[in-house]
Every structure is written in C-alpha cells, then in structure tokens.
Chains A and B, each alone.
Chain A
C-alpha cells in the first residue's frame, strides 16, 4: 500500500506470535469457563400434569427430600444437585397426557463420588391424593399434607410426616421418626432412632425401636389399636385424662410407671413379675393399647 511502511520481518513475526498467544489464551479461558459451568451445581425444575391420584416415587441416595400435598393435579419438582457427579432421571408414564406414574431416580455418574458429591435435594408438590414412595438412605425426608399411601425408607435419615391422612409406613435404621397429626394407619420402625407421635388421630398405629425412645402425645381413637415396642429405650405415653383404653403394658427387666388411674384387670399367668406388667382399663376402655419393653421404663401419665 502506498505510504504505508512495511514492518520488518522480526516485527511481523512478533505480531503473529502475539496473535497466536492471544488465541491460545482465549481458547484456554473458554475451555476453563466451560468446565467451571459444568462443575457448577445443577438445578432441575419441572411441572408435570397428572391424574388425581398418581404414583410418585423417589429413589435418592443422600440429601433432603420434601414432599407436600396440594390441590392441583400436577407434580412440581425442584431438584438441586450440588455436584455434577450425579444426575436425576425422570420417568413419566404414560409418556403423553396426564401422568399416572412418575419416578425420580438419582444416579451416580462417577463411581468415585462420595459423600456430599452424591447428594440431591428434592422439593416436590404433588396431588394430595398421590401415592408416594421415597427411598433416601442417607438423607432426611419431610412429608406434609398427603392423603394417600406414603412409604419412606432410609438408613440414617430423619423422617418427619405432618398431617398425613393415608397409610404411613416409615422405616429408618438410625434416624428419628416424627409423625405429627397422622390420621391414617401408621407403621414406624427404627433400630437406634427415636419415635415421636404427636396428636395422632389414627385408629391403627404400630411403632418399634430397639435402642431409641418412644414418645406418644395425644388421645386414642375409640376402637383404635395401638402397639408400641421399645427394647432398651424408655417409653412416654402422655394422654388426656379423658382417654378411654384397655392397657396391656409389659417389660422384661424394665419398669411400668403409671400415673393414670386404671381399673385393674386380673393377670393371666405370666412369668413377668407384677412390677413388670400392668393390665388395666381407663374409663370405658374403647381403644386397645399394648406397650412392651425389654429393659426400658414405660411411663404413662396424663396431659397437663
């Protein structure tokens, strides 16, 4: 070009190298950004139209699972995955139209992932009539306002169910279980965890723990059937003075500490000493209450 001074060869070479370096750094930065984005926490959020009583299952490994019932015929899920070493599969059946079954499954993508890297936190709103099944070995589960069958299984997680009116089946080896105002059938099992029943309105309740403690706070429904068993943990039954039930409490090496006046019944022949068992009727004996323990103390007292 006229008037334009040509750069010496060395200078042109430097410019070329500089451009190449810039490209290299640019590419490096771009790749780094891509990897950083991939490593960022992932979030899944979707809404699925369902029938009135769909079946919803969650198979998680670790993290918190919260499921709330609502009036819509929809399942709304939000899932946070802090690590990119896990993913969530959603299976909806049928594939088109209103879903009848929805399965959420957390998969570990990296076999070397451990602990927090396997975590996934779920928050779901589901139709109140949905059947819900949750497996969350290392995480906690919270349920609210469900009116149909619900089962939860964990190894070490805590389970809290509030205002559930369907059949409630809760199992955790090491976690605590709390059922607040359940009104359907309740089954709660733990090995080292505590069981806490608050204001139950259910006619059938089973609770068992080996070394945990059991606390039952509330009345017994007329015609209801209640069985609580603790091995070494204590048991506290706190009920209104107006409660009406037949009581059968027995313990092998523990004690029965009753502070509610009962009409005593005669014992059937039993190897247990009188101090280790108590049969009696409270008011008209409308409900049946069976309490058993191996070495813990069974406390029965009125609500103040």
Chain B
C-alpha cells in the first residue's frame, strides 16, 4: 500500500465524496483529485477493481437456514402476522421467497380487516355473483351474507393458486390436503343447502363461516407448503 506523504484538503473532500461517487453520483472533484494525488488514485483504483470483480461473482441463493433465521427475527419483532390463521405456520420455511403465498396471506389479512369493519355483514346477498365465484351452485347465492360472499371470493382465488401449485406438494401432504378439502367442501355444500331451507338457522350459518375460514386457512397453508 502506498504511504500517504502529505494529506491535503483535497484528500478530505475526496474521502467525503468517495462513497457517493462509487454509488453512481456525479462527483467531478473525486476524479479530479485522484489525478493529482497518487495515494487517493490508488485507493480509487482498488475500490473500482473490487466493485468490478464483485459484479462478476455468481448470484448465490442463501441457505434455508438464512431464510429461517430471517423469518424468526421478523416474527420476533412482530413484523408480520396473519390474523386468525390456524395453519399459517406451515409456510415458515420459505415465505419470503414465494410471492404468491405472500399475496394469498395478504388477501386473507385484508379480508379479515374488511369483516371487522363491515357493518352489514350478516345481511343476505341476493345477487348471483357471490355463489358463482364460490363455484357452489346456482342456489347458493340467495342465502349468502356479505361475509360469506367475501369468503367465497377469497377462497375462489386461493383455489386457483392451489390448483396450480398442487403438483409440487409432497404426495402424502397432497392426500391429506385433498381429504381435508373434500371434507370442508362437503360441509360448505350442506350448510348452504340447509340455509336455503332455513335462512334463519344461526347454527348452520356459524358452521358455514367456520368451514369457509378453515378452508381459506387450509388453502393458504397448502400454497405456502407447495413452494417450500
């Protein structure tokens, strides 16, 4: 390394502006000073050499441990949380690497907020839209509340994502998810049929909301797990 013989005011200004110059900002003083000062010229040359070499290094995927630790640190700081999600823990190993599941989680979170704020959530929806997006038959919409219709829409979107990712699930997990989904789909169908006959049956409505909630959580979990 070169020994600096005499430090000038130009050297101080060079030091002060060097970082900004290396980050791409226009700092003519840096180049001008480097032409006059051998020590600073060598420093600049070394740093540019390192920067160029670094650009040629291959991109490396961090190990799973890094992601796990990152997630644990974020969790510890309460940086993110899924409201009421019973199964969301399953995606811990790869949440940040997979934007689709993160989107799914975000939609659940938004939905949860909407439900909390919705003043007329128990009023039945009389349009056919809700039932059609839920894919639950022509008769279903007449008995769906605002909450249920919102759940149905979210679940419909989650199901699309799940279907695309299902092939990547471990076979055993796929079977478990499939059986659980069949069970929940059956209960949703029966609850809707029941509500069609008895719209005031609060127990059936409670079961329907429970089934929607569980299905959304299950799909979110499966989507995340498929990206592991």
Q: Which residues of A contact B (CB under 8 A)?
A: 59, 62, 89, 103, 105, 107-108, 114-115, 118, 135, 137-138, 153, 155-156, 171, 173-174, 189, 191-192, 208, 210-211, 229, 231-232, 250-253, 271-272, 292, 294-295
Contacts and interface: CB of A to CB of B under 8 A. Distances in A.
Interface stretch (B27-35, B82-90, B109-117): B82-90
A115 B170 contact: yes
B90 A155 contact: yes
B102 interface: no
A174 B179 contact: yes
A62 B221 CA distance: 16
Given A135-B89, A231-B207, A115 B172 contact: yes
A269 B198 CA distance: 15
B200 to A, nearest CB: 5
Contact of B68 (A105, A192, A253, A272): A105
Interface of B: 63-65, 68, 72, 86-87, 89-90, 92-93, 170-173, 175-177, 179-180, 183-184, 186-187, 190-191, 194, 198, 200-204, 207, 210-211, 214, 218, 221, 225
B190 A295 contact: yes
B90 A137 contact: yes
Nearest to B65: A89
A171 B92 contact: no
B170 A271 contact: no
A173 B214 CA distance: 10
Contacts of A208: 210
Q: Which secondary structure dominates chain B's binding surface?
A: helix
B201 A271 contact: yes
Contact of B190 (A138, A191, A294): A294
Given A59-B68, A59-B93, A192-B176, 11 more contacts: A115-B172, A135-B89, A189-B86, A191-B183, A229-B210, A232-B187, A252-B203, A272-B201, A292-B203, A294-B190, A294-B203
A62 B171 CA distance: 13
A189 B86 CA distance: 9
A89 B67 CA distance: 13
A66 B141 CA distance: 47
Contacts of A192: 176, 179-180, 183
A229 B206 CA distance: 11
B18 to A, nearest CB: 37
Q: Which of A118, A271, A292 gathers most chain B CB within 10 Å?
A: A271
